Structure 1
Amino acid sequence: MDILEEIQKQFVSFSLKEKNIATYLLQKGNEIKNINITELAKITETSTSTITRFCKKINCENFVDMKIKISSIYQEESKSQGLNIFDNVYSFYDKVIKNTIKSMDREKIEEVVSLIKSAQRIFVYGVGSSGLTAIEITQRLLRMGLNVTSITDSHMMLINSSVATKKDLVIGISTSGHTKEVVNALRMSKKNHGTIVSITSLSNSAITQVSDISLTVYNSSFVDDQRFVNSQFAIVYLMDVISMMLLADEKLNYKMNRTIEVILKEKD
């Protein structure tokens, strides 16, 4: 695990000021080689003492040690500066994918695939952009003949979670890991003995605390939050992986193909 991965892993536990430092380093760490600790404190609206404590938290001896470790990571990435907009977008997605692969736990993903295949009912919770992803996941699983419902309204989430049973699989999606509506609904589902799976970009966040299994992807805002890009991209990548693993099952693959045939005939 390199220093940037360590920062992402600990992000939830940082204070507000420390999160300012962490966000800057994750987004613009390539600039740190040109600034000193006083300049970083000014940029992040913190203090040199806060930065020093932050360095200790991420297992660096001091600011200089942190600066060297981060600069070494960004040496290769600095070559991408000056690229045109097409290459820049590609570079963005490439970084998100590579970091998501690093954070993926294959055994956990395989366990989730097994749970999806064996669940009597599947409910997928998400609001906002995560709600759109929940709908997409639901459409894919429906085409495989699975009993799945997406719920994107916070009121309906609570109603649904109150009737979840031990035979149900409940999947909650929250990039931040702290979406109140989703976390509360998952907590209620767990009280009713439903099996809880979460998909998030921050480990040790609120949503992971109420989950039986948590799948973690890379947070695209750690690359850059100034560009208009899909914040759900890493989750969609994970969704593609899970879909392909499910389609390795002959029965699910057959049902998917039958669904496609029916849709094509309807269009004719």
Structure 2
Amino acid sequence: MFTHEMIASFNELETSLYNYISQHSEKVAYMRIRELADETHVSTATILRFCRKINCEGFSEFKVKLKMHLEGNKKTILKDARHSVTEFFDRTLKGDIEEDIREAAKLVNNADSVIFIGIGTSGILAEYGARYFSSLGKFSLYIKDPLFPVHSSLRYNSITIALSVSGETDFTVTHLNQMKQEGSKIISITNNKHSTIAKISDINIPYYVTEEWFENANITTQVPVLYILESMAHEIYKLNS
């Protein structure tokens, strides 16, 4: 609900107001403006100015958005893990994911260098992918810092493999755009093919499982990503053999 730019624009009083709202959001959602002013020791004018800074016309609109935000963050009932895995493999058998994996493997096999990128859980899997590919004979690197210096000899005829559940992670999009401008071919593994990362990739492998969230954390199963990475590595090994 509060972006980095919004928080950076707050003055001292607005910052104290932001801190109070963050710690008492359930309570604030049902308070009157005067009650909030008394609790936080600021004027109602400060609260209204705060609301405008976060793109709300007034306190009433702010409370509506706050309630929607709280509703969206409610704890969810987690599905049985077997459901997510079965969902993926059912779709895999009916789709053309194996062909996508073979095409991606050919692209990787013809490359001189392979670079994995990703952040969060996808970053952990990107590091795993680099290790797994290297174990099967295709030396690969995981780079998590977009400012990490990559020598031109590594960028030449290189493949970048990007992992992202949403396909919209700003960090990964920025990193991927940089690698693309430097001449690297792009393979992405995302949860759908209509995301930004998928659109700027040379090959996208979507796996389509229902996304799950728990207290602002994306807990969507990553079993499909492991399957795709390991299948691709096996295809590369067969091509080399």
Q: How does 1:202-241 map to 2 (within 5 A)?
A: 202-221=192-211, 224-225=212-213, 231-241=221-231
Indicate the residue corresponding to 1:192 in structure 2: 182
Q: Please list the CA deviations of residues 42-90 of structure 1 after superposition, one character each: whole Å capped at 9, or x if unmatched.
A: xxx8xxxxxxxxxxxxxxxxxxxxxxxxxxxxxxxxxxxxxxx9x9332
Tell me how many residue pairs correspond in the alignment.
Answer: 163
RMSD of the TM alignment (CA)? Answer: 2.9
TM-fit CA distance, 1:152: 2.2
Match among 83, 86, 90 for residue 94 of structure 1: 86
Where 1:108 maps in the other structure, the secondary structure is helix
Indicate the residue corresponding to 2:132 in structure 1: 140
Q: Report if the CA contact (8 A) 1:96-1:220 is conserved.
A: no
Question: Is structure 2 residue 108 aligned with structure 1 residue 116?
Answer: yes
Residue type of the alignment partner of 2:101: I
202-211 or 164-173, which deviates more: 164-173
Q: Which whole-Å CA distance do the structure 1 matches of 2:235 and 2:116 have between them? A: 18
Q: Report if the CA contact (8 A) 1:124-1:171 is conserved.
A: yes
Q: Which whole-Å CA distance do the structure 2 matches of 1:95 and 1:210 have between them? A: 27
Q: Please list the CA deviations of residues 182-239 of structure 1 after superposition, one character each: whole Å capped at 9, or x if unmatched.
A: 1112112211221111110121211012111111112341xx5459966322111212
Q: Which whole-Å CA distance do the structure 1 matches of 2:170 and 2:151 have between them? A: 14
Q: Report if the CA contact (8 A) 2:112-2:156 is conserved.
A: no
Where 1:243 maps in the other structure, the secondary structure is helix
Question: Is structure 2 residue 97 aligned with structure 1 residue 105?
Answer: yes
Q: Please list the CA deviations of residues 165-195 of structure 1 after superposition, one character each: whole Å capped at 9, or x if unmatched.
A: 3411111111100111111121122112211
Q: Which whole-Å CA distance do the structure 2 matches of 1:162 and 1:183 have between them? A: 21
Match among 241, 248, 251 for residue 238 of structure 2: 248
Question: Is structure 2 residue 122 aligned with structure 1 residue 130?
Answer: yes
Q: Which whole-Å CA distance do the structure 1 matches of 2:201 and 2:240 have between them? A: 29
Q: Which whole-Å CA distance do the structure 1 matches of 2:100 and 2:130 have between them? A: 20
Where 1:248 maps in the other structure, the secondary structure is helix
Stretches of structure 2 lacking an aligned partner (at least 5 in a row) = 1-67, 69-77
Where 2:238 maps in the other structure, the secondary structure is coil
Q: Report if the CA contact (8 A) 1:97-1:237 is conserved.
A: no
Q: Which whole-Å CA distance do the structure 2 matches of 1:210 and 1:88 have between them? A: 34
Indicate the residue corresponding to 1:177 in structure 2: 167
Q: Report if the CA contact (8 A) 2:114-2:160 is conserved.
A: yes
Q: Please list the CA deviations of residues 101-154 of structure 1 after superposition, one character each: whole Å capped at 9, or x if unmatched.
A: 445433332121111112111100011000111111111111122231011234
Residue type of the alignment partner of 1:217: Y
Q: Which of these two proteins has the greater Rg computed from alpha carbons?
A: 2
**TM-score between both structures, scaled by the size of structure 2:** 0.58
Residue type of the alignment partner of 1:169: I
Structure 1 residues 161 and 174: alpha-carbon distance in aligned structure 2, compared to 1, 3 A threshold: farther
Q: Which whole-Å CA distance do the structure 2 matches of 1:175 and 1:161 have between them? A: 29
Structure 1 residues 250 and 187: alpha-carbon distance in aligned structure 2, compared to 1, 3 A threshold: closer
Residue type of the alignment partner of 2:179: S
The structure where helix makes up a greater share of residues is 1
